[in-house]
Amino acid sequence: MLELSADRILSWIPAVLIALTFHEYAHGWMALRLGDHTARLAGRLTLNPIRHLDPIGTLLLFVVGFGWAKPVPVNPLNFRGDMKQGMMVVSLAGPGANLVLAFAGAVILGVVMGIHGMAGLESPLGSVLQAVVLVNLILAFFNLLPIPPLDGSKILAGLLPGRQTWLYSLEQYGIIILLVLVFTGAIGKLWQLVIMPAHAFLFDKVAVGIARFLLF
């Protein structure tokens, strides 16, 4: 479990709001591009974070470092073209948006460090940008797990042949499965093997690289 210090909470609040909001907005935006207006009609095609927060998923992001937002409603029957492939594209949009935000956060952090040096990391803006990078990586890779109702399950269903009704039938147990994986520590492997190496790359290669370029 992660330490809930006051500084961490203050820096993570804007980062979590940004990450969750753009994740769900990307789902709704992509669905709309494919012809489905369900998210728009439900008032979920918005950058208002309150519309996207899931109480349990948001709390877990702060407490254990993994979490989720309230899923945007999507009706694949409204898609133009193949429904299965459309659903896969819509599902990819959320994690994709988080990866873009993580990269953008690293770029801006590099600029801050280039202007203020390493002291920029300790500034309020630097702390928030560090949180933006990490939280977006967490949300992206966590949601790629092939466990319903996470995006990874719909991406997997789009890659496998057939209708994959067995996979969707697990959705009613999805949150229970996720909570078991989180609190038993099994899901910590994702942190060690994927999230931290990705975070190290964005900080060392992107942020620090840009800072050095600006300083010299």
DSSP code string of 103-158: HHHHHHHHHHHHHHTTHHHHSHHHHHHHHHHHHHHHHHHHHTSSSTTSHHHHHHHH
**What Å distances lie between residue 73 and 24, 42, 55, 112, 183, CA to CA?**
10, 8, 17, 38, 28
**What Å distances lie between residue 10 and 40, 121, 125, 130, 172, CA to CA?**
31, 15, 11, 12, 34
pTM: 0.91
- The answer to the question of residue 203 being in a domain is yes
Angle at 195 between CA 189 and CA 197, to 5 degrees: 100
- The answer to the question of residue 177 being in a domain is yes
The pLDDT of residue 2: 58
Least confident of 86-90, 119-123, 141-145, 162-166: 162-166
Q: What total number of domains does the chain contain?
A: 1
Give the model confidence (pLDDT) of 94-146 as tens digits: 999 999 999 999 999 999 999 998 888 999 999 999 999 999 999 999 999 98
Helix (H, G, I), strand (E, B) or coil at 164: coil
Asked whether the bond before 149 is cis by omega within 30 degrees of 0, the reply is yes
Q: Is 24 a catalytic residue?
A: yes
Parent domain of 163: 6-215
- The answer to the question of residue 67 being in a domain is yes
Residue 1 confidence (pLDDT) above 60: no
Least confident of 65-69, 86-90, 104-108, 200-204: 65-69
Q: Residues of the chain with pLDDT > 90: what percent?
A: 60
Dist. CA 172–CA 2, nearest whole Å: 28
- The answer to the question of residue 161 being in a domain is yes
- The answer to the question of residue 1 being in a domain is no
The pLDDT of residue 3: 58
Q: Which of 10-14, 22-26, 176-180 has the highest mean pLDDT?
A: 22-26
